[in-house]
Each structure stands twice: as structure tokens, then as C-alpha cells.
Amino acid sequence: MKNPSLAYLAKSFYNAYIALDQLEPDQDELLLYIPKLVNGAFSAELIIKAILVEQDIPYNNEHNLKILFEKLPMDFQNRVWYFLAQKAPEYADTEKRENELLLMSDAFVQWRYCYEGKFAPAFDIRFLSAFTNALIIVMFELGYNVFFTKSEMALSPEECAEIDKKIENNRRECMKNNEANIKKKSRR
């Protein structure tokens, strides 16, 4: 597998989406609705990217679901549509599913920033569910799956010190980068 971390990350955001979908809201369903949409759309993006990476297809920092999906080879797209229609038969209609994909194409960004008064699409959550489910099935069907397991092997004190050093270096580097970005933005 070319990028096991991407497949693992795709699975983890898909699992977060499913966990949010299965929660029973107390009184205010909207408390879960937007995080569910955001996680679902992001998991779809990561799953598509995981497949594209394995197929050596560049995606050039693209985030739009429709554009990313259309980069997939046609046989992959057809497999996704097949599984989607199994879960949600109303989307066997090509025009209907294309319209929903278009509506949902930038949902990750649009719903994430909806509090800024930006326009967020009213797409069918059932389509998002069927689409992400079909994508994850195709990813697994193609063998793009990865499992990280906890090691039972004890680390030596030297190995622990090396890990601590790497974490501290990471923290220092990230602080330096974030400070530089903040200064750059403050000058605008």
C-alpha cells in the first residue's frame, strides 16, 4: 500500500461519521447534524484520495468531491454507483445521484463555515450515507485497508527518550511554523 496512513485516516473519519450517525440526539438534533455532515463529507474525500493514491492518479490538492470522484477510473465509479444503489435504490437514477453529488461536492468546507453566513447546501443526508458507505466498500473491496495494532513489546528507556525527543522537536517546529503563519497573516 502506497500510503497506509491515508487509508487509516479515511477509515477513522468514516468511523467518526458512523458513530455520530448512530447517536440518539437528546433534544436538539442540530447539535449532531452539522458535525455528522462535516465528518461524512471529509471521510468521502479521504476515501477517494486513498483510492486515487493507490491508482497513481494525482489529485493536486483538490477537495471538491465531484471533481475528485470524476478522477477515479470509470470502473471504480461504476462500482460506487452500484453499491450506492443497493443501499439507496432511489439513486439508481443517474440524474438524481449526479445532482446530489453536485450539491454535496463542497459540503466539507461549506458546512464547516456555515456560521459565517456562507451558503451551505441542503443535500440529502441519505445520499451522503449511501455514498460514503459505497466508497468505503469499494476501498475495502480493492484491498485498500490497513490495520495498526498496538505493540506488546516494551520499549527500552533509550527508545522512549528518542520518541520524546521527536515529539519535542515536532512541537518546536509546529510552534515556529504557526508563529510564522500568524505573523504573515497579521501583516495583511
Cα 145 to Cα 79: distance, rounded to the nearest angstrom: 17
Cell of 185: 497573516
For residue 124, what pLDDT is reported? 87
Q: What is the pLDDT of residue 75?
A: 95
The C-alpha cell that represents 116 in the structure block = 459565517
Residues 147-164 pLDDT 10s: 877 777 788 899 989 999
Looking at residue 110, what is its pLDDT? Answer: 86
Q: What pLDDT, on a 0 to 100 scale, did the predictor assign at position 26?
A: 67
Of 75, 85, 88, 126, the residue nearest 104 (C-alpha): 126
- Extract the residue ranges of the chain whose pLDDT is less than 50: none
Distances (CA, A) of 25 to 22, 28, 31, 36, 125: 9, 6, 8, 12, 16
- Quick one: pLDDT at residue 151? 73
Q: State the residue for C-alpha cell 505573523.
A: 183
Q: What is the pTM of this model?
A: 0.84
What is the predicted pLDDT for the residue at 25?
A: 67
Q: Spell out the residues 6+ positions from residue 171 whose beta carbon is closer than 8 angstroms to its own.
A: none
